[in-house]
Structure 1
Amino acid sequence: MEIKHGTNKFYFGEDAQNPDGELTYLPDDKNKLVIDSVVVKEELRGEGYGDVLLDAAADYARENDKRLIGRCPFVAKRFEEFPEKYKDVVFVEA
């Protein structure tokens, strides 16, 4: 599966306007991305595609010296469940 990077989102599927799954974010400032939603089509849920999208966002953050803020419940939960996997990209407020 190819994960694509569109305007303020990572997604998979042929149509960027109606993807099979997407993670959307809002740029907070020069180095933070606020992840506000992860949505996967119902028939694909439970297959790990949300994690694949989150991993793509984390890789992008690593490559571009960005930090992630998880406002979406799915992402916030993943950050808590796998702190070692994401500790280098999660923004920690002082």
Structure 2
Amino acid sequence: MEILFQQNGAKGSFYIGGDGNEPLAELTFSMAGTDKMILDHTGVTDALRGKNAGAAMVAKAVEYARANNIRIIPLCPFARAQFDKHPEYNDTRS
């Protein structure tokens, strides 16, 4: 499952593409300055439900944050639960 990244100004997402304009799964974020990323929403379609798509996108966000010296604020309840479940992500948590 390939997780793609897009950013337009202060907003962006990690997503798994679909066959049209709508992604099959998406983790959206807003940047707070240049060094903080607010994870604000996770959505997964029925096609990917139960396949760990949401968890994979949060892991990709953590990987991106580590590579770019960004701290994550997990406001989305799903993302926050993933951070609570994976203490190894806390090095990126703001």
Common fold, TM-score beyond 0.5? yes
The equivalent of 1:61 in structure 2 is 65
- Residue ranges of structure 1 left out of the alignment (5+ in a row): none
* Percent of paired sites with the same residue: 36
Distance 1:80 1:51 in 2: 12
After TM superposition, the structure 1 = structure 2 runs for residues 2-21 of structure 1, keeping only pairs within 5 Å, are: 2-7=2-7, 8-14=12-18, 17-21=21-25
What is the aligned counterpart of 1:90 among 87, 90, 93? Answer: 93
Shift of 1:88: 1.1
Runs of 4+ in structure 1 over 4 Å off: none
TM-score of the superposition, structure 2-length normalised? Answer: 0.88
* TM-score, length of structure 1 as denominator length: 0.88
Letter in 1 for 2:91: D
Distance in 2 (CA, whole Å) between partners of 1:65 and 1:78 is 20
Assess if the C-alpha contact under 8 Å between 1:6 and 1:16 holds in 2: no
Deviation at 1:43, TM superposition (A): 2.9
CA contact (8 A) 2:24 2:47 kept: no
The Cα of 1:14 is off from its aligned counterpart by 3.8
Partner of 2:42: 38
Secondary structure of the 1:5 match is strand
From 32, 44, 49, the equivalent of 1:28 is 32
**Alpha-carbon spacing, 1:59–1:16, altered in 2? closer, same or farther (3 Å):** farther
- Structure 2, unpaired ranges of 5+: none
| Count of residue pairs the alignment pairs up | 90
How far residue 66 of structure 1 moved from its aligned partner, in angstroms, is 0.2
